Amino acid sequence: MVDALHYSTLREMSEALHRRELSSLDLTEAHLERIERLEPRLGAFLEVTSTVARQQARQADEQLAEGSAGPLTGIPMQLKDNISTSGVATTCGSLMLEGYVPPFDATVTQRLRDAGAVLLGKGNMDEFAMGSSTENSAYKTTANPWSTDRVPGGSSGGPAAAVAAGEAAFSLGSDTGGSIRQPASLCGIVGLKPTYGLISRYGLVAYASSLDQIGPLTRTVEDTALVLNAIAGHDAKDSTSIKQAVPDYTQGLNKGIAGLRIGVVKEYFGDAVDSEVARTTKEAILRLEELGADVVWDISLPLSETALAVYYILAPCECSANLARYDGVKYGYSDMESQGMRAALEETRRQGFGAEVKRRILLGTYALSSGYYDAYYLKAQKVRTLIRREFAQAFQQVDLLVTPTSPTVAFGLGEKVDDPLAMHASDICTVPVNIAGIPAVSVPSGFADGLPVGLQLIGSPMSEPMLLRAAHAYEQATGWHAQHPAI
């Protein structure tokens, strides 16, 4: 199979499968061969499920032959390694879960199985989704396909790199503070963080439960809509799941954006944003204006400047509670040599968790401790409410907001790994969206210094149809999505 096959859209692959021009097994074998060839340089997969993939591909071919197949039937895909897969290891990139095989599927896993998608394997990630470069994985470092001496972003760096390099047709990641959109931007692909509650979190290993959200990483906006059709919708197993019918997200993609009011948030173009990224983003905004959008250039969200501080109180507090379950008794890594239960527990956590995870657990435990709860956690929650209100007020003036996705292009491997504050600043453009629980999409918008730049479009709750329509209009008018790394 030629490399061009690996950069086909989901619709192109699906139409070829339905016309019986190729089989799902052929398509799967082609992707497995590419994974074998590229993985030594990329490190995008923690586990390649070749046997499972071939079995599912044969089942998909049977469905295709019977005429009972859907748009994702037979399409090879990847899942981030914090999404539960029955019978397949789910480690969250941590030694603490080394060898852990869930006895159940996440809801999104089951829905993709039902849709006939083919699981190629599990994507590398920052440990427990804590990081912005995928350098915090306990097992390997993932490289950016555009320049293998640079990071792919994180924490969904493995999924972003796999899709950008043509190793998988699409992938699912999780986004707690930008972990889908930031790596999508750095790898030159599309990444959607949906409205909180639109996609079930059942089976997603929790980092910060009020912020986590599963979403797709794809090569085009239409691909994102197709995947969203398969995984969105209410789930009784998730108490935060929204009880609301979901539309067909592919409908209306071609309606254009004439008359759509798009606001430019001035706080997202400050000194922390690289000048070339800012220039590229402003050129993209002018292109939106040429396409008929009414651009409002002076939208102000001053509380967005507090979002990073709010995030790094709330997220560590929630992770401190969520990760307390890892004690070496029920599952996962366990230190069996220490004398006494408490000593064994302490040693298990000391060895099982990496430095960044321990740093955030300590931060969260401190902020939740007696005497500091009101000063930190409670105050952060109050500011979170104000940030939500600020976004709601902005959406009374405009339909969508536009910002850079990442303040920089992909930085060098090892460049920020010893500077946590600099690493955390990678999320300044993305964390306000998670705090507010609203949707946002990153779409390729050009290059700076030869590396991809992403444009972030932000919408009000449940505005995914409008959000995807605007992203699709920009994508089709520019063609940045059609450029691929020469790996």
- Residue range 258-271, pLDDT digits in tens: 999 999 999 999 99
pLDDT value of position 1: 38
Residue 155 annotated to the active site: yes
Q: Find the catalytic residue in 179, 185, 334, 426.
A: 179
CA pair distance 315, 325, nearest whole angstrom:
16
Q: Which residue is catalytic, options 24, 155, 174, 241? A: 155
**465 CB-near residues (< 8 Å, 6+ apart):** 247, 249, 251, 252
What mean pLDDT value characterizes the chain?
Answer: 96
Write down the catalytic residue from 14, 24, 80, 463: 80
Closest CA to 471 of 170, 191, 160, 56: 191
Q: What is the rounded distance in angstroms from the CA atom of residue 170 to the CA atom of residue 13?
A: 12
Taking residues 108-130, what's their average pLDDT? 98
Give the 3-state secondary structure of 252-293.
CHHHCCCCCEEEEEHHHHCCCCCHHHHHHHHHHHHHHHHCCC
pLDDT at 207 over 90: yes
**Tell me: the pLDDT tens digits for 337-356?**
767 888 888 888 999 999 99
pLDDT, mean of residues 199-223: 98
Taking 90 as the threshold, does the pLDDT of residue 173 lie above it?
yes
Q: Decide if 135 contacts 141 (C-beta within 8 A).
A: yes
Q: What's residue 442's pLDDT?
A: 98
286 φ, ψ (degrees, to nearest 5): -60, -35
For residue range 452-462, what is the model confidence (pLDDT) as tens digits?
999 999 999 99
**What is the structure's pLDDT at 245?**
92
User: Is the predicted pLDDT of residue 2 greater than 70, yes or no?
Assistant: no
Residue 189: per-residue pLDDT? 98
Would you state the torsion angle of the CA atoms of residues 312, 313, 315, 316, taken in this order, to the nearest 10 degrees? 100
Q: Is the pLDDT of residue 320 over 80?
A: yes
Burial, 207: exposed, middle or buried (Cβ in 10 Å; 0-12, 13-18, 19+)? buried
Per-residue confidence band for 3, with pLDDT thresholds at 50, 70 and 90: low
Pairing verdict, β 400-404 and 451-459: antiparallel
369 is catalytic: no
Residues 270-279: tens digit of each pLDDT: 999 999 999 9
Report, as an integer, the average pLDDT of 290-302: 96
| Known active-site residue 445 | no
Distance CA 116, CA 10 (A): 13
Contacts of 42 (CB under 8 A, 6+ apart): 142, 143, 145, 148, 161, 162, 165, 167, 487
pLDDT at 472 over 60: yes
The tokens describing 340, both together, are: 């006494």
- In angstroms, the first-to-last Cα distance of the chain is 16
Q: What are the C-alpha distances in Å from 429 to residues 204, 270, 385, 405, 412?
A: 24, 11, 18, 6, 20
CA distances from 55 to 27, 64, 77 (A): 13, 14, 14
Please count the other Cβ atoms lying within 10 Å of the Cβ belonging to residue 349.
20
Domains and CATH numbers, the chain: 3-255 (3.90.1300.10)
The pLDDT, as a whole number, for residue 114 is: 98
